[in-house]
Structure 1
C-alpha cells in the first residue's frame, strides 16, 4: 500500500510539473532567460532532480535486493571494479606479486634485488608524443620560419586596431580621447555649461571664480591648462587626497569634453568674487612652436624677397 501511494505521488508530481513547464514555455516570450524567468529554471531543475533521484534510489534498492538474494543462494558476485583493475594492468603492464619471481634480475645489491619491469605503455606513448611534437616544432619554427607567439600577438593587435578603426569610421558618434580637440560650437558650449552648473558650480561657483575649488578664469593651473589637461583632470580627478574626484564614472566622455571646453572658455572673464590664483601660469607650448615656425617662414620670405630685389637692382 505504501509503495502504491509513493508511486501515485511521484506520477502526480511528474504530470503536474510537466504541464506547468509546458504552460510556462507557452506563456513567456523568453522562458529560458534566467534573469527574466528564474522560477522556470527552478522548476526545470527540480523536475530533473526528482527524476534522477528516483532512478538512483530505485537502482540502489534493486542492487541491494540482488545482493541479498545472492548471499542467500551462496552466489559470489563478480567484483564490479574488475574492469578497472584489468584496465590498469593493461595500461601499466604491472606484474602481480606472484609473478615477480619470473622477472627478478640475477644481480643483488646488499639484499636489494631489481625487477625487470617493462616501461608502462602510458609513459612510452607520452615519450613518442614528445618526439612527434619536437619534430613538428622543429619543422614549423626552425625550417619553415613560422610565427612565434610574440609575432602572433603583434599580428592580433594589428588586426584588432584595424577593426577598431573600421568601427570608428562607421560610427561617427564614438568618442575618441586620442583625437580630443577644443570645442567651440555654441551648442557644445551650452551643453558644457549645463553640465558645469549641475556638477561643478558647487565648488567653482557658477562664474568659475572659485570657492572650494580653484579659480578657473585666470591663467594659473594646478594640473596644466589646455583641453587635454583639463579633460584628463576632470576624467581622472585631481590630486590624490585633496583634489577633485574623478568624473569618468558619472559623466560620459562626450560631456566631459564639452564641460572641459566650457571651462577653458571661462578664461579671461571677470567673476564677481575671484579666488586667489593657484598653481602656475600655463603656456601652450604647441602654440609657441607654431608661432616660431610662422616667424621663420616670414623671415625666409623677407630674405628671399630682398634677394630678388638685389638681383633686380643689379
Structure 2
C-alpha cells in the first residue's frame, strides 16, 4: 500500500478527512471551525504531528527489519513490491473482506436443497461491502434524525430562507447608499400602496406650495385633470419633475434635491390623483393627454 500511497499522499489525505469531519460535526456558523474555535486548529496540527511521527517510526522499523532479512527473503520482498496493485496481498485481502467470495471448488458446500425445475441456488452470504453500506445508511439516518428533528438544526429549506432574508436586508442596505440609476427611459408607474404613500409624503413636503395639498393647483397647474403642459404619463411627469418646467418659468428642477427613485414615487402618486376633482381646482392648462397605444 505504501508504494501506491506514499506518505505525502497518506498524511494530507488523513488530515483532510479529519478536518472535514470536524467541520461537519462542529456547528461554527458561517465561519470555518478553526477560525471560530482556535482549539480546533491546535488539534489538527497535533494530529498531523502524530501522523508524521508514526511514519518516521514505521520507516525506521522497516529499515531495521530489512537489514535482518536473508538474501532470499530480500528477493522475495522485491518481487512482491513489484507486483501489480491488483495482485498485491493487500488488494487480495481487501477484496476478500469486501466480497467474501468462495472458490468454485467449494460450490458443493454452498448448494441448497431447494430445487426448482432443475435450478438450484447457492447459499452465499451478502457481500460485506453491501452490509457495511446498509449499516452506514442506518447510522446516517440516525445522525440526521438527531441533528435535524431532535436538536433542531437548520435544514436546507430553512438555510435557504434565512440566506434569502439576509440577502434581502443586504440589498436594502445597499440601496440606501447605492447610486440611483433611474431615468426617463427606465421609469415605470408604481401602484404599490407603500410606494404611493412615500410619494405622497415627498409631495406634501416639497410640492404643496405650488400645487396645493390636493394637487388642485395654485401657482402651479392643476395636476388632477387630463391636460398637461409638458405631457402626461409617468415618463413625462417624471422628466418634468427631474428636469424642471419650461425654460425661464415654471417649476424648477428637483434632481439635485430628490433622488430619481423618489421622483418616480412622486410621479406615480401625482398620476394616482387623476380625476379626483378637488374643490376650487385651477382651470386646465396645456393639451389633453392620452396614453399612446402599446
Shorter chain as denominator, the TM-score bin is 0.3 to 0.5
- TM-score relative to the length of structure 1: 0.36
- Greater helix content: 1
- TM-score relative to the length of structure 2: 0.38
Bigger RCO (CA 8 Å, 6+ sep): 2
